[in-house]
A and B are shown apart, each in its own frame.
Chain A
Amino acid sequence: AQKVTQAQTEISVVEKEDVTLDCVYETRDTTYYLFWYKQPPSGELVFLIRRNSFDEQNEISGRYSWNFQKSTSSFNFTITASQVVDSAVYFCALNTGGFKTIFGAGTRLFVKA
């Protein structure tokens, strides 16, 4: 069975703090893709990153970075120097082939000024 777990329901930080959002996934497939999406209050899901199972290199994009570790089935997302505009719900998702993407329950991030 495939599953994505985001254990943190809500996180609250003060602006400029670093914050890490955790994601643990389950799959028996050896080939799969992992994603992170941001959902601001407007509701539209915004694609942030895609990572395939054969590429464990960490990635950095501006203030965002991702740590993919197959040994622990984790794909964590870190925001450095958080800003108020980062306040949103963040979803981790898994696609193991086929056409279905499985989403975690999401982590709501509050960044206070």
Chain B
Amino acid sequence: DAGVTQSPTHLIKTRGQQVTLRCSPKSGHDTVSWYQQALGQGPQFIFQYYEEEERQRGNFPDRFSGHQFPNYSSELNVNALLLGDSALYLCASSLETSGSGYNYEQYFGPGTRLTVT
């Protein structure tokens, strides 16, 4: 049973560039959430995708955008990179539970470490 996978593992970009991170959810899961984890801090919610639509967003600017594909995989795009975007980006998948709104058990991937220079 494949868990959550993310690619790439590490990425180095220059300020002003754009980056795309990818996530494949755990088998059977249909919901994907993205989190940003700066060094020494807890994960911060970026947004969640379900049925190919963003349904909630954290306190992140529009430079952060995403997409979910029919196979439930997801991409996170960040434009006009800033030094402060350097972080571990975590993807979490879960199974929508009858619209209850609770992420009962989120399974996290290993993350993509983004360094902006």
Contact = CB atoms under 8 A, between A and B. Distances in A.
Partners in one complex: yes
Interface of A: 4, 6, 33, 37, 42-47, 50, 91, 93, 95, 97-106
A44 B109 contact: yes
B103 A95 contact: yes
Contact of B88 (A43, A97, A105, A106): A43
Interface residues of B, number: 29
Given A42-B110, A91-B42, A103-B35, 20 more contacts: A33-B104, A37-B108, A43-B90, A44-B110, A44-B111, A45-B92, A93-B42, A95-B102, A97-B102, A98-B56, A98-B101, A99-B48, A99-B101, A100-B58, A101-B45, A103-B43, A103-B44, A104-B42, A105-B41, A106-B42
A99 B43 contact: no
B102 A47 contact: no
A102 B33 CA distance: 12
Interface of B: 31, 33, 35, 40-45, 48, 50, 55-56, 58, 88, 90, 92, 101-111, 113
Contacts, number: 63
A43 B105 contact: no
A105 to B, nearest CB: 5
Contacts of A43: 88, 90, 110-111, 113
B47 to A, nearest CB: 9
A43 B105 CA distance: 18
